[in-house]
Structure 1
Amino acid sequence: MAFGKGHHLHLIDGSAFIFRAYHALPPLTRKSDGLPVGAVSGFCNMLQRYVEGNAGGDVTHVAVIFDKGSHTFRNDLYDQYKANREAMPEDLRPQIPLTRTATEAFNIACKEMEGFEADDIIATLACQAREAGGRCTIISSDKDLMQLVGGGVEMLDAMKNKTIDVDGVFEKFGVGPDRVVDVQALAGDSVDNVPGAPGIGIKTAALLINEYGSLEELLDRAGEIKQPKRRQTLIEHRAQIELSKRLVQLDCDMELDFTIEDLEVRDPEPETLLGFLAEMEFRTLTKRISGALGVEAPAVPEPAATTASPEAEEHPPLSASEHVTIRDAETLQSWIDAIHARGVVAVDTETTGLNEMRADLVGVSLCVDPGRAAYLPLAHKDGGGADDLFGGEAKLAEGQLDFETALGMLKPVLEDPAVLKIGQNMKYDAKILARNGITVAPIDDTMLLSYALHAGLHGHGMDALSERYLDHTPIPIKTLLGTGKSAITFDFVPIEEATKYAAEDAEITLRLWQRLKPRLHLAQVTRVYEWMERPMVPVLAEMEMRGIKVDRDTLSRMSNAFAQKMAGLEAEIHELAGESFNVGSPAQLGEILFEKMGFEGGKTGKSGKYSTPADVLEDLATEHDLPRRVLDWRQLSKLKSTYTDALQDHINPETGRVHTSYSIAGANTGRLASTDPNLQNIPVRSEEGRRIREAFVAEPGHVLVSLDYSQIELRILAHIAGIDALKTAFRDGLDIHAMTASEMFDVPLDEMTPEVRRQAKAINFGVIYGISGFGLARNLRIPRAEAQAFIDTYFERFPGIRAYMDDTVAFAKEHKYVQTLFGRKIHTPEIGAKGPQAGFAKRAAINAPIQGTAADIIRRAMVRMPAAIADLPARMLLQVHDELIFEVEEDAVDRVIPAVRQVMEGAAAPVVHLDVPLTVDAGQGRSWAEAH
């Protein structure tokens, strides 16, 4: 059949189908031999849905187009093309040829060509179809293919069932299809490593192309552009931009070894198709397709009774899920029965706010299987978002179970040790439920699963994970709550709308768990998750709910004292400047420093006003007094606004204590982050910063006890880098900073001055973080040349440190991750970057195994701590990097400190045996300042 007018060609992006199937479904292995087949199963389901959806339609020709090999003509143009892409997962590799066999089994044309990407084959066929007068639909959401749209060519995002036409392309790129390549050439593509024009994104690129008409015209007239930085970028990077266009431009003139006529639609041959499905052991799909074809299904071996997870192909698409509102006890009981039968349930809470200690529970969502999720509303109100004008509360909306009755029914199953509860950021939900009398256990957490697997690669929030691994965009919360002054709380969201949102969250959580949990062992991070991520949830939840007492009067007195000291510094600054000005104004300060006083290093922004960031002032402070005083003033201003003023607002009116919230997945290295308020960043180097801790106090009859690892990161460096001099010093209990100073400056220990020791200490800690001569100069407020000489001497005296750094960077470049001693993987996707980013990526890679190992050690200590102090009158309250703070009855301190110290000093064992001892310093007092 000659292809022409009236014919309709469908081109399926095979790679997109494969990766969507792989990432959206849990791993599946063939029972008979353990062959991974999860992606093949999902791929076959997608093909079957395609065939069913287009039966009886106008499609006359169809093909699935694949990539063949990784090297194409674009790699010859630019050797870094797609160089930063992750290696194909090992369990996906053997499935790739099976997807080709699957396509052929469905009797659909399967095409690929060496040296060309699938996109080029699709482009050539689409252009041929257009020229022949026919239609072409490209089944893909790949933005690179949007340049082909128009004139009878359209795209279809099969997962969202959304057609992408010319208007859709304009919505995406801000230009028509014929100018998509121009925009892409400017904006570049981080996924494919297309360089583009530095600093120019999609919106700016579209603006420029719409103004100048084409990329060529823009580059020819780049000198006319008013913005200096943009003009310079386009002129200096012209060759790179032109190369980028050649990389993104699809080839519509490939010499194919087949014709469109070869792609005519053909019915599947039942024996071939069912034989393949049976060989793959896809029982459900085999039965479904045999029924559709009207033939008897071939025999497929049944799975053993112990098979734990359902086949991937039995999961319906998320968009087709049934979401139920639970409005009565009978319905709730049926869901509880289903949970007990399944042994697993995804749980999510909806509340009136984000502060777990103040928010009220509004409802609970549950999901037991993909496609089955429910929402249990508990405290929704009528009234459109506000209580009545006379101060009364809005009435409860109808159709909700009694709050206490519902929680009474849920409590046994949520506390049942035989039922696994899955959450996304489960610590939040656990605290909300704990405040309502329910202790949720055991648990799994999809956020922490992703963190253990992917630290350093991407964020771990539910929306990001859903889009990445399920190819599904969740309902945005803003569409329910609104924004700004008109925003409402979740209890005023109509129950029908709340059900769609909340039940979807629970189902996404379950699907993410099915996708991520089996991958722990493949990535060899099961131990990290099971020993250092999941067990932290109950430990931190209890700590956060306890909180720590903060004395409001002390904070108020400090605020006044800081204000007075700031006023004194302002007077000194004005005297040095020779005039009064607003010290808090970067612009006015810039005029004083760079115009009146003539200091170098001044930079102005778009407004023409000076900017005076900390690094500029720190450079100037190495030689001038005024910027030193400004830095001191800024530090006091920050202490006052961030701590002595703001902490007063964080005191919980019900408990009289401050309840910080820890983020387990907040830092790539495993360090905990603290928010609302942030207690990790209270400065301890300055006297004023240390004074903040005076406001943190013990309850009457108690004292605060602080136990702090002594120089733990230096000890880990000595072990990992094999620095014998440092190991010996730590074993002998020497002053490590004095020893370093003695080695570097040839000063006997008994002649060591505090200033020389301080310099050595700054270098010791600076090297761990990859400090430069610039950074050390700022820290010590000395000239850069002198600081660089210190660092050079350091590496000469301790050559093993340089070797460790070089080896670590080389490992990171080869494997795209580094590891802690406990197996935590910190991914380093930017390690091959060029320019300023390269230095940052290297420093991060060097530091990560050291800081990450230290973080792992204190996590292991914290997980063991509740059992160690269970019989003692002590409660763990805070963790601040290498320090743990406890509230202890006064007469029990002598028993608590040895017990805690034993756990902390032995936390690495038995997994890791360090060549240097871990030592823990202990202190006690009525306040944190006294204890530290």
Structure 2
Amino acid sequence: MSDSASAARDRRVIAVIDGNSLMHRAFHAVPPTMNAPDGSPTNAVFGFLNMFLKMVDEFSPDGVVCAFDKGHPKVRMEMLPQYKAQRPPMDPNLRAQFPMIKELLASLSVPVVELEGWEGDDILGTLARRGEAAGCDMYLVTGDRDMYQLVTDHVHVVSTRKGLSDIAIMTPESVDDLYHGITPELVPDFYGLKGDSSDNIPGVPGIGPKKASALIVQYGSLDEVIAHADEVKGKMGESLRAHIDDALVSRKIATIMTDAPVECDLDEVSFPAYDAASVSAALGALGIMAMQNRFLALLGDAAASQAAVSKLELPEVLRVSLDASRAFDEAESNRESAEMNACFDELMRALEAGEWLGVAMEDDKEADALFGMTRRLWVATDRALLSFEEPIGPCGVFATDIDCSHGVIPGVLGLLFAKGSVVSSDVKALLHVLSPVDSSEPELMDPLDADPARLFDTVVAAYLLDSVRSDFADAHLAETYLHAALPAAAGEDGAPADAPSAAARSAWLARILREPLAAALEAQGAEDIFTKIEMPLVRVLASMERAGMYVDPARLAAQSEELSGQIAELSDRIRELAGGEEFNLSSPMQLSRVLFDKLGLPTAGLKKTQRGYYSTNAKVLEDLAKDYEIVRLILEYRERTKIKSTYLDTLGALRETDGRVHTTYNQTITATGRLSSSNPNLQNIPTRSELGHAVKKAFSVEEGSVFVAIDYSQIELRLLAHLSGDEHLVGAFNEGEDFHAETAARVFGVPVEEVTPQLRSRAKAVNFGIVYGQQAYGLSQALDIPMAEAREMIDAYFRAYPGVRTYLDETVAFAKQTGYAETMYGRRRPIPELRVPAQRMFGERTAMNHPMQGSAADIIKIAMVRVAERLRTEGFAAKMILQVHDELDFECPVGEVDALVAMVREEMEGVAQLRVPLIADASVGETWAEAK
């Protein structure tokens, strides 16, 4: 309805929402991937609000009321005890969202009406008749079709159908058309005959909607149908005559009551009547800021604009700007000199006051430029934004108390890390300003000198609060934790001429984000993980990234050349098997044509791509490789070309001037809590393959040193034993037996001494499969055995270790109830897939695995921090250079090997006191390959 139409109407429009109906529809229509900052599901709330806004846009109501069921429907249950008895319990993730929507409605000043023992339908019916009598046009928003009985010229049912976008506005004429002659007042009669399975209303067996409407149209009403029951022939007549009482009770149950004792004065209901700030706060608390502007727009431009920027006004900017030819005490103007002094004075004031300081770096690189000419450090205090600008490279020395002998930015940053409390969206990047990644550049500060208690990384904090999210941009954090939109930065659409840079905004945002993020961490029980694991680890990772790994370019070249020869031989043989045809082996389309069209390989069960050819992905080829030599060779070709292009031909170019490759460790990528590695990804080199071994030969160490690798033995299985408490599993580890052989003996029912290598291999597959929630199909594929045999192996495993079955079942039940799984240390992983039928099995496997895999990630992170501290305090020359899942790698002088191994094993094995021992195995070699 347009604004002009709304202004011209002479009757008030009141919308009454069936809260239960709309919440149920929203819950099932919106994918369950939405969560509040505390991890609570919000998909139903989001869908409800979406429909709410659609309704407001459509009808421009003068007032809105929302009704909810409360308690059991007492009156109807007295008439029909089985009323709604067949309905399953409400999904706990939906139930959890009802208090949320009621609080949001309160913030929107929308009255919530609920009466003990009454259904929301009866509240809608009562308000509909009351509003109609008062001269209002009433719009009832519901998905229940029995509400059509309330429809008149001034009472309309807004019927939600599929999802939330498909709605119909029911009038007396549309009800008549829908039910083929059934007018609104005859709807209860119609339900009396046909019943309603969703509410367990019996009706008359054998009479469906078509027969019910035909009978009522023929005789005029249910009473007349009953009066002429003897005229109804066949089985339908017999059923009707046998169930007259059921029909009458069903009609009574289906009749909406319009006399509920509702205390709601429609004359006082008004919309919109809410406060912009309270709505923004309520939406932000649930992380649903996408709708903020739509709600604020309903209040008018002025109110919306004021609310959007009320908390996000940037403070005054003070600058220190230098060029390469000018020192601080040789400023060209008194004004410039005064501003510089004011900037340094404000910095010292904030440090002395103990403020948390927001910090961000920027340079003036153009999108297509390799180097910028200047860089800036932005520091946000409680009072101002401080800008420290200098050329990239050497600059002048300053007359200040700050050591700026290496430049103003390193000087200020050094002071901040030494004496201040730093909050930033990338603390590690700031540490690298003082401890450059390239170890040939001078290090101005050891990252481990930074006090983790005075570091706060906003992105790491946000990741801990929602680990399945992939984007933690400033805009998202502002909307989620400050409940407001970011002001535009320079260069962004709508930015004013004096808009700050994105880096300036980031520094200021980081400072004001710290408090709400810290509160959210505490509320979710993640404070210890943040302060005791992740923030101490930031410094360790910065140190490891600087250390890097030495790569021998000559070995890389030799291995690349060797692999080139193997690839050429494979290519020739594949084309020979293809009948001598020349085709591009790297083209999926050409390969598909050769394999399936020319050679006629079986295509049963295969799907075609959107471009119309059969897929040649890895799974397809692996299944075919068992029977066809050409497919086996294609897989070998793919593996070798990938290794060559990904590693052998690129690692050399990634070496810094120190001759080392410096990977980047990512703390906020994986949902499990594990670290990931990029540029290059050193964690993804094939572990056990011959090719992966060849790549690792190129990673060496300085002369006089060796490569030391120390990794946890079977840590996830040991965690399964600890967490499940299964006495047999715990005993197998504590007795020091061959764990996989022990499992084989118990699963296959043979003495341990009679366990063959094949049985042990199968038991090993089951052991690790159980950790990852593997089912019979996955095990059958892994072992190439029939499904029935795989299922029996899993059943036998759980008979052997019954405590494991109980533990896994309880873990899945916990995840279904809460929406997340958690580690020993309280690290949560949201599992929205549990609420999607098609993804539920994946969700269950995730729930089973996260406590083990996530706890293993926590444990090795704690070990890394402890090992790094001891390397420094005990004066080791050895350096920790790599972490790969459960493995720590070191570059160690030959004379320190024994001491290093003893120290690292002590720390790794002593991280946690479990029911079973943690075991760390060490190996040594001149290269990474020899050490592993």
Q: Could you tell which deviates more after superposition, 885-894 or 727-736?
A: 727-736
Q: Which residue of 2 aligns with 1:757?
A: 760
Q: Which residue of 2 aligns with 1:601?
A: 605
User: Would you say the 8 A contact 2:704–2:894 is kept in 1?
Assistant: yes
Counterpart-to-counterpart distance in 2, 1:26 and 1:628: 48
1:329 aligns with one of 333, 340, 350: 340
Q: Which residue of 2 aligns with 1:463?
A: 475
Shift of 1:650: 1.8
Go from structure 1 to structure 2 and tell me whether the alpha carbon gap of 1:473 and 1:620 turns closer, same or farther (over 3 Å shift).
farther
User: Would you say the 8 A contact 1:619–1:777 is kept in 2?
Assistant: no
Q: Could you tell which deviates more after superposition, 536-545 or 76-85?
A: 76-85
1:818 aligns to 2:824 (yes or no): no
Cα deviation, 1:238-291, whole Å, max 9, x if unaligned, reads xxxxxxxxxxxxxxx9999656643589999xxxxxxxxxxxxxxxxxxxxxxx
1:916 aligns to 2:927 (yes or no): no
Shift of 1:832: 2.6
SS where residue 711 of structure 2 aligns? strand
Counterpart-to-counterpart distance in 2, 1:611 and 1:77: 46
Shift of 1:806: 1.4
Cα deviation, 1:170-222, whole Å, max 9, x if unaligned, reads xxxxxxxxxxx99x977x5xxxxx6x9xxxxxxxx99xxxxxxxxxxxxxxxx
Q: Which residue of 1 aligns with 2:389?
A: 378
Counterpart-to-counterpart distance in 2, 1:449 and 1:266: 36
1:800 aligns with one of 803, 811, 830: 803
2:466 aligns with one of 435, 454, 470: 454
1:690 aligns to 2:697 (yes or no): no
1:346 aligns to 2:346 (yes or no): no
Q: Which residue of 2 aligns with 1:219?
A: none
Kindly report which structure 2 residues correspond to 1:628-643, keeping only aligned pairs within 5 A, or say none.
628-643=632-647
CA RMSD across the alignment = 5.2
User: Would you say the 8 A contact 2:819–2:832 is kept in 1?
Assistant: yes
SS where residue 326 of structure 1 aligns? strand
Q: Which residue of 1 aligns with 2:155?
A: none
Counterpart-to-counterpart distance in 1, 2:384 and 2:779: 56
Q: Which residue of 2 aligns with 1:926?
A: 926
1:885 aligns to 2:889 (yes or no): yes
1:704 aligns with one of 702, 707, 719: 707
Counterpart-to-counterpart distance in 1, 2:840 and 2:707: 44
Shift of 1:896: 1.0
Q: Which residue of 2 aligns with 1:610?
A: 614
Shift of 1:6: 9.9
1:262 aligns to 2:268 (yes or no): yes
Q: Which residue of 2 aligns with 1:590?
A: 592
1:672 aligns to 2:683 (yes or no): no
Over alpha carbons, which structure has the higher Rg? 2
1:851 aligns with one of 853, 859, 882: 853
Q: Could you tell which deviates more after superposition, 575-584 or 511-520?
A: 575-584
Counterpart-to-counterpart distance in 2, 1:881 and 1:759: 24
1:317 aligns with one of 310, 319, 322: 310
1:547 aligns to 2:558 (yes or no): no
User: Would you say the 8 A contact 1:696–1:927 is kept in 2?
Assistant: yes
SS where residue 915 of structure 2 aligns? coil
User: Would you say the 8 A contact 2:319–2:389 is kept in 1?
Assistant: no
User: Would you say the 8 A contact 1:618–1:781 is kept in 2?
Assistant: no
Counterpart-to-counterpart distance in 2, 1:585 and 1:930: 36
Shift of 1:855: 1.0
Shift of 1:538: 0.5
1:421 aligns to 2:425 (yes or no): no
Q: Which runs of 5+ in 1 are unaligned?
A: 16-22, 28-59, 104-108, 137-143, 145-180, 189-193, 197-204, 207-252, 269-312, 382-392, 483-492
Counterpart-to-counterpart distance in 2, 1:360 and 1:808: 55
SS where residue 865 of structure 1 aligns? helix
Cα deviation, 1:823-870, whole Å, max 9, x if unaligned, reads 2222223223202x1111111110000111111111111111122222
User: Would you say the 8 A contact 1:623–1:783 is kept in 2?
Assistant: no
SS where residue 113 of structure 2 aligns? coil
1:906 aligns to 2:914 (yes or no): no
Instruction: Read off the aligned partner of 2:638 and give its amino acid letter.
Output: R
Go from structure 1 to structure 2 and tell me whether the alpha carbon gap of 1:366 and 1:730 turns closer, same or farther (over 3 Å shift).
same
1:875 aligns with one of 869, 873, 879: 879
SS where residue 651 of structure 2 aligns? helix
Go from structure 1 to structure 2 and tell me whether the alpha carbon gap of 1:449 and 1:512 turns closer, same or farther (over 3 Å shift).
same
Shift of 1:570: 3.2
User: Would you say the 8 A contact 2:16–2:67 is kept in 1?
Assistant: no
User: Would you say the 8 A contact 1:347–1:423 is kept in 2?
Assistant: yes
Q: Which residue of 1 aligns with 2:31?
A: none
Instruction: Read off the aligned partner of 1:719 and give its amino acid letter.
Output: H
Counterpart-to-counterpart distance in 2, 1:725 and 1:692: 41
Go from structure 1 to structure 2 and tell me whether the alpha carbon gap of 1:592 and 1:793 turns closer, same or farther (over 3 Å shift).
farther
Cα deviation, 1:789-847, whole Å, max 9, x if unaligned, reads 54444334333332222111111111222221222222223223202x11111111100
Counterpart-to-counterpart distance in 2, 1:780 and 1:651: 41
Go from structure 1 to structure 2 and tell me whether the alpha carbon gap of 1:495 and 1:907 turns closer, same or farther (over 3 Å shift).
farther
Q: Which residue of 2 aligns with 1:49?
A: none
Cα deviation, 1:688-722, whole Å, max 9, x if unaligned, reads 11221111110111111110111111111122223
User: Would you say the 8 A contact 1:622–1:778 is kept in 2?
Assistant: no
User: Would you say the 8 A contact 1:323–1:500 is kept in 2?
Assistant: no
Instruction: Read off the aligned partner of 2:843 and give its amino acid letter.
Output: A
Go from structure 1 to structure 2 and tell me whether the alpha carbon gap of 1:878 and 1:409 turns closer, same or farther (over 3 Å shift).
closer
Counterpart-to-counterpart distance in 1, 2:360 and 2:385: 10
User: Would you say the 8 A contact 1:715–1:730 is kept in 2?
Assistant: yes
User: Would you say the 8 A contact 1:446–1:509 is kept in 2?
Assistant: yes
Go from structure 1 to structure 2 and tell me whether the alpha carbon gap of 1:786 and 1:720 turns closer, same or farther (over 3 Å shift).
same
- Percent identity, please: 33
Shift of 1:615: 2.0
Counterpart-to-counterpart distance in 1, 2:664 and 2:504: 26
Go from structure 1 to structure 2 and tell me whether the alpha carbon gap of 1:266 and 1:722 turns closer, same or farther (over 3 Å shift).
closer
User: Would you say the 8 A contact 2:777–2:787 is kept in 1?
Assistant: yes
Q: Which residue of 1 aligns with 2:651?
A: 647
Cα deviation, 1:79-108, whole Å, max 9, x if unaligned, reads 899964584699x99x959x96x99xxxxx
1:734 aligns with one of 712, 732, 737: 737
Q: Could you tell which deviates more after superposition, 855-864 or 64-73?
A: 64-73
Instruction: Read off the aligned partner of 1:615 and give its amino acid letter.
Output: K
User: Would you say the 8 A contact 2:373–2:391 is kept in 1?
Assistant: no
Go from structure 1 to structure 2 and tell me whether the alpha carbon gap of 1:624 and 1:471 turns closer, same or farther (over 3 Å shift).
farther
Q: Which runs of 5+ in 2 are unaligned?
A: 1-5, 20-33, 39-59, 74-83, 144-157, 168-257, 275-305, 321-338, 397-401, 437-442
Go from structure 1 to structure 2 and tell me whether the alpha carbon gap of 1:796 and 1:78 turns closer, same or farther (over 3 Å shift).
closer
Go from structure 1 to structure 2 and tell me whether the alpha carbon gap of 1:254 and 1:529 turns closer, same or farther (over 3 Å shift).
farther
Counterpart-to-counterpart distance in 1, 2:89 and 2:649: 51
User: Would you say the 8 A contact 1:373–1:506 is kept in 2?
Assistant: no
Counterpart-to-counterpart distance in 1, 2:319 and 2:407: 13
Q: When the two structures are superposed, what TM-score results if normalisation uses the length of structure 2?
A: 0.64
1:445 aligns with one of 429, 443, 457: 457
1:723 aligns to 2:723 (yes or no): no
Q: Which residue of 2 aligns with 1:363?
A: 376
The number of residues matched between the two structures is: 694
Shift of 1:522: 2.5
Go from structure 1 to structure 2 and tell me whether the alpha carbon gap of 1:725 and 1:833 turns closer, same or farther (over 3 Å shift).
same
Go from structure 1 to structure 2 and tell me whether the alpha carbon gap of 1:602 and 1:83 turns closer, same or farther (over 3 Å shift).
same
User: Would you say the 8 A contact 1:868–1:903 is kept in 2?
Assistant: no
Counterpart-to-counterpart distance in 1, 2:731 and 2:627: 38
Counterpart-to-counterpart distance in 1, 2:816 and 2:614: 39
Go from structure 1 to structure 2 and tell me whether the alpha carbon gap of 1:797 and 1:564 turns closer, same or farther (over 3 Å shift).
farther
SS where residue 708 of structure 1 aligns? strand
Instruction: Read off the aligned partner of 1:896 and give its amino acid letter.
Output: L
